[in-house]
Amino acid sequence: MFEIKEYPDRHKVALPTYQFGGKAEYWWGTVRLRGEEDPMTWERLRELMDNQYCPRDVQRMKEREFMSLQQGNLSVMGYASRFNELSRFASHQMNTEVRKMDHFKEYLRGDIRSIIVGQTFENFQDMYQRAIKIAHVLEESESASRALTLRKRKMEPSKRGFQGGSYKKYRTNYPQGKGT
């Protein structure tokens, strides 16, 4: 939000802290009373909030979860959502756009990754949008292939002869002779 609206730094802290309520409001009151020498920055506020509301052990657990995150059965959008949610816990490893794109691409589903790997992207958003398009095309192709297979099966003649009946059943009207 702040990047889109290009808020000045002083508003990046004032706007969210104005919205605090309950325990967060009391916590913010004690932080303001401490009166740090430098003006509060958005980055410093996030760091203080993480320390207060997300213990270091939880942060490490979320970082490990991020490092092992794979697309698997998630949609590209679901994977990207989880990726963005957890990447804040591994910010030191995602400190450049290139690193972020490399990590995202590495754990995409194989069929999507194999197509996207040979392409160059200016930023994460471009790569993400392309991955969505690729997944959509692959999905459509797979769906068309399944429909074609079903149509072929319906057109095949039955290989079981008399609708699954026994040939001997129909021979009972013939005269009985030797060897039958």
Structure pTM?
0.65
**Inter-CA distances, 86 with 104, 114, 157, Å:** 12, 24, 54
Give dist(CA 156, CA 50) in Å, integer.
63
| 67-101 pLDDT per residue, tens | 999 999 999 999 999 999 999 899 888 889 999 99
Give dist(CA 19, CA 6) in Å, integer.
19
**In 84-168, where do the E strands start and end?**
none
| 6-15 pLDDT per residue, tens | 667 667 777 7
Burial class from Cβ neighbours inside 10 Å (0-12, 13-18, 19+) for residue 80 reads buried
